[in-house]
Amino acid sequence: MIGFEKNNEMNVISIEGLRKSFNGNIALDGISMTVRRGDIYGFLGPNGAGKTTTLRIILGVLKADKGKISVLNNDLNSWGDKLRYKVNALPESHGFYGWMNAVDYLNFFGELYGMRLTKKDYQLRLSQVGLNPHNNLPVRTFSRGMKQRLGIARSMVNNPEILFLDEPTNGLDPRGRRDIHDLLVRLNEENDITIIISTHILDDVERLCNRIAILNHGKIRYEGILRSVSNEKNIRYRFLLDHEQTISTDWKIPGVTFVEIKDDQIICELKNISPADVIKAFIDSGVKIVEAQKITEGLEEMYFGYTGGKNQ
Amino acid sequence: MSSFYTLMKKECAEDILSFRSLLLFLFASVLMSIFAFLLISNKELSLLDNAHAIYMMIGIVLVLSSLIIIIQGSDSIAGERDRETLEVLLLSPIGSKGLILAKLGKIMISWLFLYVLAIPYLWAVGSIGQNLWPAIYILFITGTLLTLILSGISLIISAEMSTLKGALFISMVIFLLLVSPAVLGSSLRQTMVGRVFDFINPFMDALNSIDSVIIDSEKLNVQSYRLGIMVLYTIVMQGFLFGGLRRIKL
């Protein structure tokens, strides 16, 4: 599978052939993926697919058995502990020190990262995530939504370039979920943070992500652009090439975005160009098309398609 | 260094200055008060010579401090894991070694806190004799070594066990194993097996060193082989702790 529009300078995370097993059980089976600067990248997959394991390896909490990981254009191993100043994460199960208040909690983590911030700075950060900055109550009295916001504020405490969020809206009510969506979009746009969201909640992905990867049984089943899937109901075309024909990855047709090239199959999105014009452009370039097919599917269908059917 | 200091501050606030911990120290203090009171006022116990009275008081201090160290050590990492706070700590620049160092630092402070707390009781029991100062320094030496050994054991268990309950259970079993010779009769301890167990048991090495210095009025260098074993245990345990636990599992 080859994703288009790749530019190494834009990549903040590149993974090749990542493998990990626990006591002989394969958790990750040769994962390769690329996250670009400014992406809100959805990492989708059912429970146990290997999402959290992948994130933990990228964050340096787990060690991979095999594979090459580059973060911010440096090999993961060469970063050492310095990487921790550049990235941060909101793990799925993130407990709190219930006896601290929100400002103390942020201050504790700020100091761990060597940040020299004042109480006012932390109060400002709390208001940025929609928490009352003057609330002196201990964190144990917070609702789940408030804790989730505080967790996001904590994960932003070192001004990371890449933010990993593992199931950020799990257990939140619709209002809380919407607020977290708005907050993440704001963080992505205003602070230029690349966000990677691991989730199995498709609504989160549809609302937030521009690119996705679908993971199942430790393998990436799909990686590519998402925006058109949700916004335009995924009107894409699949072109089947004549036997043993290939096209160059830097090939461009105005109005055509290549989503995937796999063997003799090209999936692309068309904007202001008809399928007939695309076929003509292919033929003019010497590429013979044997079949053109309109693909209409939503993210849900796509997800089930790649993860093994609705009943699984 | 600053992140280590920050974590130490949090550890002390959580495990030494918190209401729950202060209650634990209050309990230790009440127990030492009762024991000191009995040693001074009880007719039979007050007949003990001053050296024996101090020895018994130090024994109580060592058992109490060992118990508190074992509890704090077991809770250190398994407790963070149970409360789901371990991962965010490991994601921070403190890293595995910094985390262990801060936890160890907290345990050492706890020991020093208990040691300072015990001094008035030692004074109350032993101020009329000549053994007070030897008691104070031998308690410091053996107690510090024992703290390093027990904290090493309990922190390793805490890092390896997936639950706090499991870590506490195993640490407690080890603690009971270590203190068990103290409740055996002297005839059992004089057997070959008893002697070997006494010799390789760091808790009994500490008690026997104290016994020799306070009751037999021997010089500390006579105890160098026992203290040597304790130092060896300390090096092995701390070596395992910092060398073996390069990456704490989640």
Q: Is a pLDDT exceeding 70 seen at residue A280?
A: yes
Smallest CA–CA separation between A70 and chain B, in Å? 18
Chain A residues touching chain B at CB-CB below 8 Å: 56, 59, 61-63, 81, 84-85, 88-89, 91, 93-97, 99, 108-109, 111-114, 154
Are the Cβ atoms of B88 and A113 closer than 8 angstroms? no
Mean pLDDT of A6-34: 86
Are the Cβ atoms of B10 and A108 closer than 8 angstroms? yes
Asked if B144 reaches chain A (Cβ–Cβ under 8 Å), the answer is: no
Q: Which of residues 60-79 of B touch A (CB under 8 A)?
A: none
User: What is the rounded CA–CA span in Å between residue A241 and residue A266?
Assistant: 8
Among chain B residues, CA nearest to A60 = B91
pLDDT level of residue A227 (50, 70, 90 thresholds): low
pLDDT level of residue A297 (50, 70, 90 thresholds): low
Tally of CA atoms within 13 A in the half-sphere of B213 that contains its CB: 28
Q: Is a pLDDT exceeding 90 seen at residue A88?
A: yes
Among chain A residues, CA nearest to B14 = A99
Residue A288 DSSP label: P
For residue A109, the chain B residues in CB contact (below 8 A) are: 88, 92
Q: Is a pLDDT exceeding 70 seen at residue A69?
A: yes
User: What is the rounded CA–CA span in Å between residue A168 and residue B155?
Assistant: 32
Selecting from B7, B18, B247 the residue whose C-beta is nearest the C-beta of A99 gives B18
What are the beta bridge partners of residue A291? A240
Smallest CA–CA separation between B110 and chain A, in Å? 20
Burial of B166 (0-12, 13-18, 19+ CB in 10 A): middle
Among chain A residues, CA nearest to B18 = A99
Q: What is the pLDDT of residue B1?
A: 60
Residue A9: CB partners within 8 Å, gap ≥ 6? A73
pLDDT digits (tens, 9 = 90+) for A170-181: 777 888 888 889
Show the DSSP H helices in B83-131 as ranges.
86-91, 95-126
User: What is the rounded CA–CA span in Å between residue A276 and residue A65?
Assistant: 48
Asked if B84 reaches chain A (Cβ–Cβ under 8 Å), the answer is: yes
Q: Is a pLDDT exceeding 70 seen at residue A24?
A: yes
Among chain A residues, CA nearest to B99 = A112
The sheet with strand A256-262 has its strands ordered as A256-262, A265-270, A235-241, A289-296
pLDDT level of residue B186 (50, 70, 90 thresholds): confident
pLDDT level of residue B34 (50, 70, 90 thresholds): very high
Q: What is the pLDDT of residue A9?
A: 54
pLDDT level of residue A187 (50, 70, 90 thresholds): confident
Residue-averaged pLDDT of chain A = 84
Q: What percent of chain A has pLDDT over 90?
A: 38
pLDDT digits (tens, 9 = 90+) for A199-216: 888 888 888 999 999 999
Selecting from A59, A97, A108 the residue whose C-beta is nearest the C-beta of B91 gives A59
More confident residue, A244 or A187: A187
For residue A148, the chain B residues in CB contact (below 8 A) are: none
Q: Which residue has the tokens 């335009």?
A: A232
pTM: predicted TM-score of the whole model, two decimal places: 0.80
Q: Is a pLDDT exceeding 50 seen at residue A2?
A: no
Judge whether B179 lies within some domain: yes
Judge whether B184 lies within some domain: yes
Judge whether B225 lies within some domain: yes
Are the Cβ atoms of A97 and B85 closer than 8 angstroms? yes
Q: What is the pLDDT of residue B207?
A: 92
For residue A88, the chain B residues in CB contact (below 8 A) are: 91
pLDDT level of residue A228 (50, 70, 90 thresholds): low
Q: Judge contact between B64 and B36, C-beta under 8 A.
A: no
Report ipTM for this prediction: 0.86
Q: What is the pLDDT of residue A5?
A: 41
Judge whether B250 lies within some domain: no
Q: What is the pLDDT of residue A70?
A: 93
Burial of A309 (0-12, 13-18, 19+ CB in 10 A): exposed
User: What is the rounded CA–CA span in Å between residue A252 and residue B220?
Assistant: 85
Q: Judge contact between B145 and B64, C-beta under 8 A.
A: no
The total of structural domains in chain B comes to: 1
pLDDT level of residue B46 (50, 70, 90 thresholds): low
Beta strands in B87-216 (DSSP E): none
pLDDT digits (tens, 9 = 90+) for B47-56: 778 888 899 9
Judge whether B22 lies within some domain: yes
Mean pLDDT of B84-94: 91
* Containing structural domain, residue B77: 2-244
How far out from the chain centre does Cα A224 lie? 11
**Contacts by B22-28, CB closer than 8 A, 24 or more apart:** B24/B68, B24/B71, B25/B113, B25/B114, B25/B117, B28/B64, B28/B68, B28/B114, B28/B117
Among residues A166, A168, A201, the alpha carbon closest in space to that of A46 is found at A201
Q: What is the pLDDT of residue B171?
A: 96
For residue A91, the chain B residues in CB contact (below 8 A) are: 87-88, 91
Selecting from B6, B93, B250 the residue whose C-beta is nearest the C-beta of A61 gives B250
pLDDT level of residue A55 (50, 70, 90 thresholds): very high
More confident residue, A160 or A231: A160
- Residues found in chain B: 250
pLDDT level of residue A4 (50, 70, 90 thresholds): very low
Residue-averaged pLDDT of chain B = 90
Judge whether B249 lies within some domain: no
A163 phi, psi to nearest 5 deg: -120, 125
What domains can you pick out in chain A, each with its CATH number? 8-222 (3.40.50.300), 235-296 (no CATH)
Q: Judge contact between B78 and B241, C-beta under 8 A.
A: no
Are the Cβ atoms of B10 and A81 closer than 8 angstroms? no
Judge whether B146 lies within some domain: yes
Q: Which residue has the tokens 């609705």?
A: A310
Lowest average pLDDT, out of A228-232, A259-263, B202-206, goes to A228-232
Residue A281 DSSP label: H
pLDDT digits (tens, 9 = 90+) for B141-180: 999 999 999 999 999 999 999 899 999 999 999 999 999 8
Asked if B87 reaches chain A (Cβ–Cβ under 8 Å), the answer is: yes
Asked if B92 reaches chain A (Cβ–Cβ under 8 Å), the answer is: yes
Are the Cβ atoms of A88 and B91 closer than 8 angstroms? yes
